[in-house]
């Protein structure tokens, strides 16, 4: 695949942005390098958006919510990018955001940009691509980034680690156990929204109380922000404007308390660490001396003939040669 060189200017068009993301998602090292070069050039144009992560069990109404909430935001003059992290998606155009029929308003909105989950063999790979795509979207002028994920494995933690605010959508009529809610999700939630309140308002309020109580007995991740619980209907639009007000309040509160800055700095540093680990691992496994004995050493460790610590020492010594 031959890709034309993209400049900072070309990010101002949708086609240019889409092409830059193709570079980010490409398996080829030179394409990835081009994407990184472009990112360094546009770095000062990034970081200004509100980054929002969204999760919830299948059927909770994520797509419907994003379609209506995103349209509300564009009607206020915002530019909205919608990304997804789906570690089960092996090829591009995977399950989440694959069916655009559920986002029929936003998919034809000139002020919205929807990108399905990148394909990837590992969650780490998908996360890297999504982070870089997020920055490209910011450089292209999108001021609100929505990152959708499903509750598969560690994907929620990974998304929570690339956004300013993590929104968890819940169903009104089911307990935690039925919703398969892992405690970890409540720990990373900045706002909980009980969705589909149009069906049964009382049930929605009851569920909201339940989550408020659950949150009260937990130590908030951010001392300046006790996660509120909203009741909304992504379909009919109930509570969406109020939810937006709450999101803006989260932004001002955390900016004032310093936790917004702290969270982003820590995310950047963790990201750098993980990129270093990845490239060290790649360099390690491709090192000719290591490659020559790696399989044999692994076999011996697996059979219990060689202690793992001894094996690691042996391989590292080869690597340093």
Ligand X SMILES: Nc1nc2c(ncn2[C@@H]2O[C@H](COP(=O)(O)OP(=O)(O)OP(=O)(O)O)[C@@H](O)[C@H]2O)c(=O)[nH]1
Q: Which does 58 bind (CB under 5 to 8 A by kind): ligand X, Mg ion, none?
A: ligand X
Spatial neighbors of 37 by CB under 8 A, at least 6 apart, are: none
Nearer to Mg ion, 63 or 233 (CB): 63
* Residues of the shown chain interacting with ligand X in the complex, contacts defined by CB under 6 A: 56, 58-64, 102, 150, 195-196, 198-199, 233-235
Structure tokens at 34: 């081009």
Q: Does 149 bind Mg ion (CB under 5 A)?
A: no
Nearer to ligand X, 119 or 199 (CB): 199
DSSP 229-255: EEE--TTT-TTHHHHHHHHHHHHHHHH
Q: Does 195 bind Mg ion (CB under 5 A)?
A: no
Nearer to ligand X, 179 or 257 (CB): 179
Nearer to ligand X, 152 or 221 (CB): 152
* Rounded Cα gap, residues 77 and 164, in angstroms: 21
Q: Does 68 bind Mg ion (CB under 5 A)?
A: no
Task: For the CB of residue 102, give the shortest distance to Mg ion in the complex, in Å.
Answer: 6
Q: How many CB atoms lie within 10 A of CB 223?
A: 9
- Give the strand pairing for 191-194 and 112-114: unpaired
Comparing CA positions, the residue from 185, 191, 188, 296 lying closest to residue 248 is 191
Number of residues that bind Mg ion (CB under 5 A): 2
Q: Which does 115 bind (CB under 5 to 8 A by kind): Mg ion, ligand X, none?
A: none
Comparing CA positions, the residue from 96, 157, 168 lying closest to residue 127 is 157
Sign for the CA dihedral angle at 165, 27, 5, 17 comes to: negative
- Kindly tell me which residue out of 63, 71, 130, 233 binds Mg ion, with binding defined by CB under 5 A: 63
Task: For the CB of residue 98, give the shortest distance to ligand X in the complex, in Å.
Answer: 9
Q: Contact at 8 Å (CB) between 39 and 8?
A: no
Nearer to ligand X, 199 or 311 (CB): 199
Task: For the CB of residue 139, give the shortest distance to ligand X in the complex, in Å.
Answer: 28
Q: Which does 234 bind (CB under 5 to 8 A by kind): ligand X, Mg ion, none?
A: ligand X
The binding site for Mg ion (CB under 5 A) comprises: 62-63
């Amino acid at each position: 695949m031959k890709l034309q060189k993209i400049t900072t200017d070309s990010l101002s068009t949708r086609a240019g942005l889409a092409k830059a993301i193709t570079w980010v998602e490409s398996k080829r090292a030179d394409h990835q390098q081009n994407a990184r070069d472009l990112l360094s050039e546009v770095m000062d144009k990034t970081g200004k958006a509100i980054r929002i992560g969204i999760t919830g069990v299948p059927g909770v109404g994520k797509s419907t919510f994003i379609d209506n909430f995103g349209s509300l935001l564009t009607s206020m003059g915002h530019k909205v990018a919608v990304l997804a992290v789906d570690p089960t998606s092996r090829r591009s155009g995977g399950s989440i955001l694959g069916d655009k029929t559920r986002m029929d308003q936003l998919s034809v909105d000139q002020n919205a940009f929807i990108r399905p989950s990148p394909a990837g063999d590992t969650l780490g790979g998908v996360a890297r691509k999504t982070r870089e795509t997020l920055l490209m979207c910011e450089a292209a002028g999108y001021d609100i980034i929505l990152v959708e994920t499903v509750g598969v494995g560690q994907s929620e933690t990974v998304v929570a680690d690339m956004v300013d605010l993590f929104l968890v959508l819940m169903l009104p009529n089911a307990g935690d156990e039925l919703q398969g809610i892992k405690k970890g999700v409540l720990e990373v939630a900045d706002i909980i929204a009980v969705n589909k309140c149009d069906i049964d308002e009382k049930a929605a309020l009851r569920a909201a109380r339940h989550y408020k109580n659950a949150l009260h007995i937990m130590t908030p991740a951010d001392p300046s922000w006790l996660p509120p619980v909203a009741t909304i209907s992504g379909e009919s639009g109930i509570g969406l404007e109020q939810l937006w007000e709450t999101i803006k309040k989260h932004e001002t509160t955390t900016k004032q308390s310093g936790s917004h800055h702290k969270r982003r700095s820590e995310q950047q540093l963790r990201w750098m660490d993980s990129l270093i680990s990845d490239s060290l691992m790649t360099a390690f496994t491709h090192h000719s001396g290591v490659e020559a004995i790696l399989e044999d050493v692994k076999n011996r460790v697996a059979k219990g003939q060689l202690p793992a610590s001894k094996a690691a020492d042996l391989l590292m010594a080869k690597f340093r040669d």
